[in-house]
A and B are shown apart, each in its own frame.
Chain A
Amino acid sequence: MLRISKRAEMRKTHQGLVRLAAIVASLIAMSGWIMVIGHNPIMVYTAMLDGCFGSMYRFLETLKFTIPLSIAALGIMMAFKMKFWNIGGEGQILMGAFAATYFALNFSELPKPMLLLLMMVSAIVMGGLWALIPAIFKVTFGTNETVFTLMLNYIALKYIIYLQYGPWKDPKAFGFPKIPNFTDNAILPKVLNLHVGWIILVIATIILYLVFHYTKLGFEVAVIGESENTARYAGMTVRRVVMKAVFLSGGLCGLVGMIQASAVSNTLTSEISAGIGYDAIIVAWLSNMNPLAVPVVGFLFAILSQGASYIQTAFQIPQSAADIIQGMILIFALSGEFFIKYKISLPERRSKGGQHA
């Protein structure tokens, strides 16, 4: 029988090697799958990279996916650090986008900087409030936040669809169920050919790093994540800290909604998030509670995702097959993390004689 036991802390270089080995192993395993579906693995891999870096346009597309993914991951990390399992990024993104859209559609005559600021703030507040609902229930009634946040995703999604087909339907779209496009002054500007979301990402990363390491809130969140008893013992008001941190977590996700609505789709659609809230969980997890790692992991994830969608068109590989490739890489990456924390050993063979028993 195999035995699993916890490791003492692994050296940084070894950790790097394990992660590298995980990626290599995943590439080898995927080659098998790619050959099964009748393609040359080397060519597919090259194409995946080509799809991400092959042209300026493709590269920018990859970055454009990195931005929302990473900001949402930062938000989710804030909650996860406290062991508040916020699976509701998706809903918080949608609700943030909803609030921003409200201002974009109704206050379009405002000067651009003011309107954009208003949209951002409202998106953060709305996303934060959406996350606050399960937090309040958790601290008051001890409800399970995992299911609660997840369910709120569906409510948010259906609400947006309702807006899209109902009250906010564009009368000029010839009956097509879409919400009107934003006017120019509700669209985020570009810096260096890429919308300013990337600057927001850089700032958010630094801020979260500072919060985790140099603020009282960060310290309190870390202690609560480790042990609520200790937090109460040390005189923390657990209730208040949980609500504060979850609000910020949802707020960052809400901000993602604003960025996507304003800079990417120029309007609100029910597809605005398209699973970012879920992918961000993986990115947060793989970043190991380190905010500085988030943009890097987010970028790698974006490469994977863009590459997978590129090979669909390049090789006529069906989407489901491409998704399998993406899933396999993730499983290997997560297993790598497992091997960093645990080791598996075989029981030693008895030295002399056969086995009794």
Chain B
Amino acid sequence: MNNTVVELKDITKVFGTVKASDHVTVSFNYGEVHSLLGENGAGKSTLMNVLCGIYQPDSGEIIIRGERATVRSPRDAIGHGVGMIHQHLKLVEDHTVLENMIAGQKGSFFFNKHKLEEEIRALCEHYDIKVDPRTKIKDLSIAEKQRVEILKVLYRGAKILILDEPTAVLTPQETDNLFKIIRKMRADNCTILIITHKLDEVLEISDRITVLRKGKYIDTLINEGLEPRTLTDKMVGKATNLEIVREPVKMGENILEVNDLAVFNHENAHALKDVSFAVKKGEILGVAGVAGSGQKELCESIAGLQKIINGQILFNKENLVGKTPRKIIDMGISMSFVPEDRLGMGLVSSMDITDNVLLKEYNRQHGLFLSRKDAKEQALDLVDKLSIDTPSIDTQVRLLSGGNIQKVLLGREIETQPELIITAYPVRGLDVGSAHKVYDLINAQKKKGVGVIFVGEDLDVLRAFCDRIMVLCDGEVTGIVDADKVSRQDLGYMMAGRHMDEVMTDA
């Protein structure tokens, strides 16, 4: 029996000089959960965007239910029963669930609100999703919004659902919930395609797994007795050492103490509230939390980039509150910050490596004129030491790969001999090899007695790499725990807002 619902044949999509999808042929079945696995830039999203009509392939064809389909827009796609739930949810915040679900629908000018509501409620009941069609989107949590997005696609009649990194914004418990919905959809003979790079989740939910690498199709595996190792080897293309080392280092006194820190976001609501913690010399303090729980504000507060409402930030007992980055530098404080937004904050994308090194160093130059001599030497040194893959130090950093961009940034920051390093998602988007290079660099600093704040998203990495983990939820600290004593599950509860005391005694 032919069980294939979608066939992508020989799909090629080129952006500039990059082959984002290189003659990829793959097929998906009725009633299966099929994960697309690959590192950043492997072409997962590109392929799915081709299927749902956002990109037009340069060559190749799409066959849906045995017929060749032309998918020129997401609307065409939904006509073929294909719907995509994007990583960044596309809902109108000020509208209700109901209004969002019918927006952009074809149909008559008037609609029967009552009938629609009934239909949506029935759909919710069927999938065990608790959402009131009359609530406004802005009053929902991220997980609920995601469910609305799924409902929307289902309501429009999609039988093939594409989910782009659906768990990136969810706690482990919310993820379990999502997986329940996914299983239910599978039972209804829907096809669910998941784009992801989280191995454990892939192994938990998928029936089959397709691995892509650098735009090329590598393999499709049936999820039976698979080892994570097998998958990473296929993703990376060579045998990998996945172990992350926690260097045992004798810790010193506190390098940083934060007391009762409070920060507002741009809407004058608390982005951080009563945050207190300390980092010792030679310690890596992990920071866990669902995306947007105040991690960015925390890092930027310490770096002097946030307006602080209340609290103290003591660096070697000197208060940094109210000081601009400039003043912090002038105080002789050596602190490094590797921000989450590498090209929007840490580096200038259109400048070359030398000028980006200069960014940190130019403050120490006096007078009107600028000397690039030291920066050039340092840039050459960095390229050499961290084996940065670049044609020259005069190459614009935007032309480098993600891993090399991060090496420039992290390398520059470490080069200043800091006493404290703040890193936000330093391995996001990096391939396994580059990520390990980053861990090594941070560990080397730790051995020198540098205190490290490591904001991360992968709980397993945080647990293996850090000494302690601080969990943030909605800008508040829900717990600071020893990394080797806490389970994924417990971290998840704290990320969802339950306090450490109740969580850890529960266990």
Name A's B-contacting residues (CB within 8 A): 3, 5-8, 214-219, 222-223, 226-227, 229-230, 232-237, 347-348, 350-351, 353, 355-357
A286 to chain B, nearest CB (A): 19
Q: Are B68 and A233 in contact (CB under 8 A)?
A: no
Q: How far is the CA of A320 from the CA of B420 in the complex (A)?
A: 66
Bitwise interface map of B from 342 to 370 toward A, beta carbon under 8 Å scored 1, else 0: 00111111110001001110110101111
Q: Which of B16, B339, B367 has the most CB of A within 10 A?
A: B16
Q: How far is the CA of A357 from the CA of B365 in the complex (A)?
A: 64
Q: How far is the CA of A6 from the CA of B305 in the complex (A)?
A: 33
**Given the contacts A7-B16, A216-B368, A347-B56, A232 and B348 also touching, CB distance less than 8 Å:** no
10 A–B contacts from the bound complex (CB under 8 Å): A3-B56, A6-B16, A215-B370, A223-B348, A223-B359, A226-B348, A226-B349, A230-B359, A233-B303, A233-B345
Interfacial chain B residues near A230, Cβ < 8 Å: 344-348, 359
Q: How far is the CA of A235 from the CA of B70 in the complex (A)?
A: 52
Interfacial chain A residues near B351, Cβ < 8 Å: 222-223, 226
Q: How far is the CA of A233 from the CA of B325 in the complex (A)?
A: 7
Q: How far is the CA of A235 from the CA of B331 in the complex (A)?
A: 12
Q: How far is the CA of A244 from the CA of B339 in the complex (A)?
A: 28
Interfacial chain B residues near A350, Cβ < 8 Å: 61
A355 to chain B, nearest CB (A): 6
**Given the contacts A8-B17, A215-B368, A227-B345, A232 and B325 also touching, CB distance less than 8 Å:** yes
Interfacial chain B residues near A236, Cβ < 8 Å: 326
Known: A230-B345, A230-B348, A232-B325; 13 extra A-B contacts, CB below 8 A, are: A6-B16, A7-B16, A215-B370, A219-B370, A229-B345, A233-B337, A233-B339, A233-B345, A351-B59, A356-B67, A356-B69, A357-B70, A357-B76
Interfacial chain B residues near A237, Cβ < 8 Å: 324, 326
Interfacial chain A residues near B70, Cβ < 8 Å: 355-357
Q: Are A356 and B370 in contact (CB under 8 A)?
A: no
Q: Are B56 and A234 in contact (CB under 8 A)?
A: no
Q: Are B305 and A8 in contact (CB under 8 A)?
A: no
Q: Are B348 and A235 in contact (CB under 8 A)?
A: no
B340 to chain A, nearest CB (A): 11
Q: Which chain A residue has the least Cβ–Cβ distance from B326?
A: A235
B10 to chain A, nearest CB (A): 10
Q: How far is the CA of A6 from the CA of B17 in the complex (A)?
A: 10
Q: How far is the CA of A355 from the CA of B368 in the complex (A)?
A: 65
B51 to chain A, nearest CB (A): 16
Interfacial chain A residues near B348, Cβ < 8 Å: 222-223, 226-227, 230
Q: How far is the CA of A230 from the CA of B356 in the complex (A)?
A: 10
Q: Are A217 and B58 in contact (CB under 8 A)?
A: no
Interfacial chain B residues near A217, Cβ < 8 Å: 368
Q: Are B305 and A232 in contact (CB under 8 A)?
A: yes
Interfacial chain A residues near B345, Cβ < 8 Å: 227, 229-230, 233
Q: Are A235 and B17 in contact (CB under 8 A)?
A: no
Q: Are A357 and B72 in contact (CB under 8 A)?
A: yes
Q: Are A348 and B59 in contact (CB under 8 A)?
A: yes
Q: How far is the CA of A227 from the CA of B305 in the complex (A)?
A: 14
Top 9 A-B pairs, shortest CB-CB distance = A357-B70, A235-B325, A235-B326, A229-B345, A226-B348, A234-B359, A8-B16, A233-B345, A235-B329
Q: Which chain A residue has the least Cβ–Cβ distance from B58?
A: A348
B-side interface residues, number (CB < 8 Å): 42
Bitwise interface map of B from 9 to 43 toward A, beta carbon under 8 Å scored 1, else 0: 00000011100000000000000000000000000
* In-complex Cβ contact of A234 among B17, B58, B363 (8 A): B363
Interfacial chain B residues near A8, Cβ < 8 Å: 16-17
Interfacial chain A residues near B350, Cβ < 8 Å: 226
Q: Which chain A residue has the least Cβ–Cβ distance from B330?
A: A235
B359 to chain A, nearest CB (A): 5
Q: Which chain B residue has the least Cβ–Cβ distance from A345?
A: B58
Bitwise interface map of B from 59 to 75 toward A, beta carbon under 8 Å scored 1, else 0: 10100000111101000
Q: How far is the CA of A5 from the CA of B351 in the complex (A)?
A: 22
Interfacial chain A residues near B16, Cβ < 8 Å: 5-8
Q: How far is the CA of A223 from the CA of B303 in the complex (A)?
A: 19
Whether B341 is near chain A, meaning CB under 8 Å from some CB there, is yes
Q: How far is the CA of A44 from the CA of B162 in the complex (A)?
A: 62
Interfacial chain A residues near B59, Cβ < 8 Å: 348, 351
Q: Are A219 and B325 in contact (CB under 8 A)?
A: no
Interfacial chain A residues near B72, Cβ < 8 Å: 357
Interface residues of B in 174-207 (CB under 8 A from A): none
Interfacial chain B residues near A348, Cβ < 8 Å: 58-59
Q: Which chain B residue has the least Cβ–Cβ distance from A217?
A: B368
Interfacial chain B residues near A219, Cβ < 8 Å: 355, 358, 362, 370
Q: Which chain B residue has the least Cβ–Cβ distance from A226?
A: B348
* In-complex Cβ contact of A235 among B15, B344, B363, B369 (8 A): B363
Interfacial chain B residues near A214, Cβ < 8 Å: 369-370
Q: How far is the CA of A141 from the CA of B369 in the complex (A)?
A: 31
B234 to chain A, nearest CB (A): 30
Interfacial chain A residues near B349, Cβ < 8 Å: 226-227
Q: How far is the CA of A351 from the CA of B10 in the complex (A)?
A: 13
Q: Which chain B residue has the least Cβ–Cβ distance from A355?
A: B70
Q: How far is the CA of A249 from the CA of B261 in the complex (A)?
A: 41
Interfacial chain B residues near A235, Cβ < 8 Å: 324-326, 328-329, 363
Q: Which chain A residue has the least Cβ–Cβ distance from B339?
A: A233
Interfacial chain A residues near B355, Cβ < 8 Å: 219
A242 to chain B, nearest CB (A): 15
Interfacial chain A residues near B69, Cβ < 8 Å: 356
A224 to chain B, nearest CB (A): 10
Q: Are B365 and A216 in contact (CB under 8 A)?
A: yes
B416 to chain A, nearest CB (A): 12
Q: How far is the CA of A302 from the CA of B16 in the complex (A)?
A: 37
Interfacial chain A residues near B58, Cβ < 8 Å: 348
Q: How far is the CA of A232 from the CA of B344 in the complex (A)?
A: 11
* In-complex Cβ contact of B15 among A5, A227, A347, A357 (8 A): A5
Q: Which chain A residue has the least Cβ–Cβ distance from B371?
A: A214
Q: Which chain A residue has the least Cβ–Cβ distance from B69?
A: A356
Q: How far is the CA of A215 from the CA of B362 in the complex (A)?
A: 10
Interfacial chain B residues near A7, Cβ < 8 Å: 16
Interfacial chain A residues near B17, Cβ < 8 Å: 8
Interfacial chain A residues near B56, Cβ < 8 Å: 3, 347
A208 to chain B, nearest CB (A): 14
Q: Are B325 and A215 in contact (CB under 8 A)?
A: no
Interfacial chain B residues near A227, Cβ < 8 Å: 344-345, 348-349
Interfacial chain A residues near B363, Cβ < 8 Å: 234-235
Interfacial chain A residues near B362, Cβ < 8 Å: 216, 219, 234
B158 to chain A, nearest CB (A): 19
Q: How far is the CA of A348 from the CA of B359 in the complex (A)?
A: 44
